[in-house]
């Protein structure tokens, strides 16, 4: 690896139609650690409104966890009250949104600045002069001269010189193999070996590394990273202090453009394969179009920027994206002089620095806050890999009389045993298998036997390990380091479950309904029977509500005025055969439509999970009901809602402080310890 191995992050960016930003499912650490400006007196803006300022931890906990309240909150249980130990974890992803020009009072902070690596921070005159025409092997020299691009060299240089005085853009077309990709950057470097510093953006990692290898050879260098040629891609970096020609993916460049003055030291940008119309390439072209016209980074609204795209998203798509991020708690709207402004919340600022989808980023942040960081990383990696680590085995076609059938049955038995130990959660088992595999020692044979016993894919587990490493670096670069406090609750299934609920609720929540309760006669009287999976029905908000992804054609009923549609647990889910839940609400990671709308990666919620992380809280004092996000209903008094709202505000304040002080450990705060105690004991105080 090059000198920047631990500092470079690559993101295969996709368009996030909001606030001039991007997100994608690539991940790695990114350029250098973030530097932050000190923020003075941030706490003073909130102090007058903090209801917990005068309450001790014991007093608050006593109010929240008295047995009478707990029993009321538990009324809505489904099936039996059986509680299984579970160990959940999470998923990853990225929102990288540009900081809004106006900072609202709620998130009154100075945007963090990233420290640029030496390639981006060194001006051309501070970089060693490149050799214009290095001595080459005769076969390489002849091969270059035979390319069609060589015959157009002088014409290209003249056009480029003219463009520098006008619009500063040159469009190059040519047949495949003519030398556009490998020769054009070299022509620029040969013409200005002292003043040129060039970036070549490729749509794919393989193209970036392959072209860099070839160009390095054509410049007489053994390999990229040892001279004037280098590259940066996801998980790999080869850049030296002499580098003047760097190849990277479009995602890397987009990520770097979020840094203030990112192009101050760059003379030329070459964007390759623009005709393929990748989404991140369209974003990059629109961005550069603004830059060439103004020569300055002027922050504008999302509508202004996105209208410059080749295929701009519709207004409805932008509004939908903003609405989703509002639900996630990453954005909030404010009105100023008849204009609606959208700003990042304290949580949104932290999510903007994590190269993962928003819900995955939130899971990682809350994993660090609640003390289950490693479990969150494992689940995030499992969900982000795109392929299940479990090899498919069809239970219905197993013949135990055959050797293969007997082996498959043994694998299924081991999986069931593991699932019984982690509770009603597909996320939990992802964490369990990864941590079980990663903690093994004694050579490859031990790990191989473990994988075989559970029917796991070797390649999928290796991919998970790589993603865990990359996400770990991204999380640490945002100030969420691996410490004893960050993993103090790593074995508490209730805390891990709460991280999952915090990440996916309220947008990805479903209601569980049991058709009827059945009883069995015993010598002691009638006893409630264990529930069966076939007796359960699942509903989620229909497309009549903005945040639902279920087709209204599947509409079946209303739940307290909310339109609902039927959905189903996917047969590949470990929760497919679960017959009872202690709480009538579950969250899911994906809803896919095949023959039916199926939920993948399901986790059971708890009442306090939903109260603390489930969305806006409304109180109907006369009915004694708390409504979460206009959907989830719980029986409780108004005091509970007031106290929970206060805890939520305290968490926002802690995240704001984390922005100004990256070294501040939120997990050690009194407020977080109170929240952890509530979640760990489910409000029982024991």
pLDDT at 636 over 50: yes
For residue 390, give the DSSP letter: B
Q: Is the pLDDT of residue 241 over 80?
A: yes
Selection from 50, 669, 95, 5 nearest residue 371 by Cα? 669
Instruction: Give the integer Cα–Cα distance in Å for 656 and 486.
Output: 18
Mean predicted confidence (pLDDT) in 398-414:
87
The boundaries of the domain holding residue 157 are: 118-293
pLDDT of residue 422: 82
- The whole-angstrom separation of Cα 361 and Cα 329 is 12
- Please state, rounded to an integer, the average pLDDT across all residues of the chain: 76
pLDDT band at 602 (very low <50, low <70, confident <90, very high): very high
Whole-number Å distance between alpha carbons of 3 and 338: 51
Category of 136 on φ-ψ map: left (φ > 0), alpha (ψ -120 to 50) or beta: beta
Which residues lie below 8 Å from residue 483, measured CB to CB, with a gap of 6+? 665, 667
Label residue 532 by pLDDT band (50, 70, 90): confident
Higher pLDDT, 306 or 583: 583
pLDDT at position 293: 57
Rounded to whole angstroms, how far apart are CA atoms 79 and 98? 47
Q: pLDDT band for 37, please (50, 70, 90 cuts).
A: very low
How far apart CA 276 and CA 267 sit, in angstroms, is 25
Return the pLDDT at 292: 60
CA angle 638, 642, 647 (to 5 degrees): 145
The residue among 674, 645, 643, 580 whose CA lies nearest residue 69 is 643
Is residue 461 situated within a structural domain?
A: no
- Cα separation of the two ends of the chain: 50
558 forms beta bridges with: 563
- In this predicted structure, what is the pLDDT of residue 310? 66
Q: How far is CA 432 from CA 166, 437, 576, 676, 685, in A?
A: 60, 8, 18, 21, 27
With bands split at pLDDT 50, 70 and 90, how would you rate the model's confidence at 308? low
Residue 524 CA to residue 478 CA, distance in Å, equals 58
The answer to whether the CB of 529 falls within 8 A of the CB of 349 is: no
Quick check: is 198 in a domain?
Answer: yes
DSSP helix, strand, coil percent of the chain (3-state; round to 5): 45, 15, 40
What's the structural domain count of the chain? 1
Return the pLDDT at 144: 92
Quick count: other Cβ atoms within 10 Å of Cβ 196? 20
Q: What local confidence, expressed as pLDDT, does residue 290 receive?
A: 65
Beta strands 562-569; 597-604: pairing state: parallel
Q: Which two tokens stand for residue 644?
A: 């929970």
Residue 445 lies in a domain: no
Q: Provide the pLDDT for residue 594.
A: 87
In 3D space, the residue among 267, 147, 158 whose CA is nearest the CA of residue 215 turns out to be 147
Q: pLDDT tens digits, residue range 65-96?
A: 443 333 333 333 333 222 222 221 212 122 22
d(CA 103, CA 100): 7
Distance CA 354, CA 457 (A): 28
- For residue 531, being part of any structural domain is answered with no
pLDDT at 427: 93
Pairing relationship of beta strands 555-559 and 331-336 according to DSSP bridges: unpaired
Greatest alpha-carbon pair distance for the chain in Å reads 99
Residue 262 is predicted with a pLDDT of 76
pLDDT at 514 over 50: yes
In the predicted structure, residue 245 carries a pLDDT above the cut 70: yes
Residue 492 has pLDDT above 70, yes or no: yes
Q: Are the CB atoms for 251 and 16 separated by under 8 Å?
A: no
Residues 539-565: tens digit of each pLDDT: 998 865 444 444 444 555 778 888 899
- What span, in angstroms and rounded, lies between the C-alpha atoms of 635 and 628? 11
What is the three-class DSSP state of 457? coil
Q: What is the pLDDT of residue 684?
A: 66
Q: Residue 69: inside a domain, yes or no? A: no
pLDDT reported for residue 334: 78
> Computed from CA positions of residues 301, 303, 308, 309, in that sequence, does the dihedral angle turn out positive or negative?
positive
In a domain, 263, yes or no: yes
pLDDT attached to residue 161: 85
Residue owning tokens 């990805």: 508
Element (DSSP H or E) covering residue 62: helix 57-65
Task: Report the distance separating Cα 258 and Cα 99, nearest Å.
Answer: 9
Rg, Å, the chain Cα set: 28
Please give the Cα distance from 149 to 215 (Å, whole number).
14
CATH code of the domain containing 165: 3.40.50.300
Q: Which residue has the tokens 């191995």?
A: 5
Contact of 28 with 11, CB cutoff 8 Å: yes
The lowest-confidence range among 615-619, 624-628, 634-638, 676-680 is: 634-638
Give the whole-number percent of the chain exceeding pLDDT 90: 26
Highest mean pLDDT among 56-65, 160-169, 291-300, 657-666: 657-666
- Write out the two tokens for 437: 């595999």
With 60 as the cut, is the pLDDT of residue 54 above it? no
User: Mind listing the pLDDT tens digit for each residue in 663-673?
Assistant: 888 888 888 98
CB-based contacts of 307, cutoff 8 Å, min separation 6: none
Classify residue 579 by burial, with Cβ atoms within 10 Å: 0-12, 13-18, 19+: middle
Please report whether residue 669 resides in a domain. no
> pLDDT band for position 17 (50/70/90)?
very low
Q: Which tokens sit at 349?
A: 């600022």
In a domain, 230, yes or no: yes
Q: Using CB atoms within 10 A of its CB, is residue 442 exposed (0-12), middle (13-18) or buried (19+)?
A: exposed
Under the banding of pLDDT at 50, 70 and 90, the label for residue 592 is very high
Out of 64-68, 201-205, 272-276, 628-632, which region has the weakest mean confidence (pLDDT)?
64-68
């Amino acid at each position: 690896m090059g000198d920047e191995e631990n500092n470079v992050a690559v993101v295969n960016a996709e368009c996030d139609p909001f606030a001039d930003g991007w997100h994608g499912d690539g991940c790695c650490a990114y350029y250098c650690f973030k530097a932050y400006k000190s923020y003075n007196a941030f706490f003073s803006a909130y102090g007058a409104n903090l209801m917990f300022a005068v309450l001790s931890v014991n007093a608050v906990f006593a109010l929240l966890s008295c047995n009478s309240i707990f029993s009321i909150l538990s009324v809505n249980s489904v099936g039996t009250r059986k509680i299984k130990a579970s160990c959940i974890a999470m998923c990853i992803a990225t929102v990288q949104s540009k900081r809004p020009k106006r900072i609202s009072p709620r998130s009154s902070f100075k945007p963090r600045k990233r420290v640029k690596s030496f390639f981006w921070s060194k001006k051309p005159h501070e970089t060693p002069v490149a050799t214009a025409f290095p001595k080459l092997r005769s076969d390489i020299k002849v091969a270059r001269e035979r390319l069609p691009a060589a015959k157009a060299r002088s014409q290209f240089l003249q056009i480029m010189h003219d463009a520098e005085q006008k619009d500063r853009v040159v469009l190059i077309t040519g047949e495949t193999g003519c030398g556009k990709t490998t020769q054009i950057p070299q022509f620029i470097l040969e013409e200005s070996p002292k003043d040129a510093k060039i970036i070549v953006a490729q749509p794919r990692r393989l193209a970036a590394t392959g072209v860099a290898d070839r160009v390095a050879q054509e410049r007489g260098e053994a390999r990229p990273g040892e001279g004037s040629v280098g590259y940066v891609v996801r998980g790999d970096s080869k850049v030296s202090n002499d580098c003047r020609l760097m190849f990277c993916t479009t995602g890397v460049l987009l990520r770097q453009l979020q840094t203030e003055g990112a192009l101050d030291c760059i003379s030329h940008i070459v964007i390759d394969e623009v005709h393929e119309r990748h989404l991140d390439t369209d974003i990059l072209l629109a961005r550069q179009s603004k830059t060439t016209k103004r020569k300055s980074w002027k922050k504008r609204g999302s509508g202004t920027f996105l209208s410059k795209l080749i295929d701009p998203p519709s207004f409805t798509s932008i509004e939908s994206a903003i609405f989703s991020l509002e639900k996630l708690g990453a954005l909030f709207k404010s009105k100023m002089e008849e204009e609606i402004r959208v700003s990042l919340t304290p949580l949104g600022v932290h999510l903007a620095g994590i190269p993962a989808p928003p819900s995955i980023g939130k899971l990682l942040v809350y994993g660090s806050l609640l003390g289950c960081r490693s479990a969150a990383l494992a689940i995030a990696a499992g969900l982000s890999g795109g392929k299940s680590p479990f090899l498919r085995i069809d239970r219905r076609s197993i013949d135990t009389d055959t050797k293969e059938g007997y082996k498959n049955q043994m694998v299924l038995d081991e999986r069931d045993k593991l699932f019984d130990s982690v509770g009603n959660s597909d996320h939990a088992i992802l964490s369990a298998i990864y941590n079980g595999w990663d903690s093994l020692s004694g050579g490859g044979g031990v790990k191989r036997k473990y994988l075989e016993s559970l029917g796991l894919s070797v390649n999928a587990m290796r991919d998970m390990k790589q993603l865990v490493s990359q996400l770990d670096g991204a999380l640490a670069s945002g100030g969420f380091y691996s410490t004893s406090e960050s993993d103090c609750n790593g074995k508490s299934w209730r805390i891990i479950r709460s991280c999952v609920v915090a990440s996916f609720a309220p947008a990805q929540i479903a209601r569980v309904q049991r058709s009827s309760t059945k009883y069995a006669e015993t010598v002691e009287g009638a006893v409630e029977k264990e529930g069966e999976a076939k007796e359960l029905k699942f509903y989620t908000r229909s497309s009549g509500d903005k945040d639902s992804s279920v087709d209204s054609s599947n509409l079946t009923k209303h739940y307290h005025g909310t339109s609902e549609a039927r959905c189903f647990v996917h047969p590949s889910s470990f929760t497919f055969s679960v017959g009872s839940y202690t709480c009538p609400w579950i969250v899911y990671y994906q809803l896919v439509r095949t023959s039916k709308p199926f939920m993948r990666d399901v986790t059971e919620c708890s009442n306090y999970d939903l109260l603390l992380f489930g969305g806006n809280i409304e109180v109907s004092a006369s009915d004694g009901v708390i409504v979460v996000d206009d959907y989830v209903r719980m029986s409780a008094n108004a005091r509970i809602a007031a106290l929970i709202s206060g805890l939520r505000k305290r968490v926002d304040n802690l995240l704001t402080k984390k922005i100004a002080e990256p070294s501040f450990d939120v997990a050690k705060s009194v407020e977080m310890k109170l929240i952890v105690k509530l979640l760990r004991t489910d409000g029982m105080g024991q």
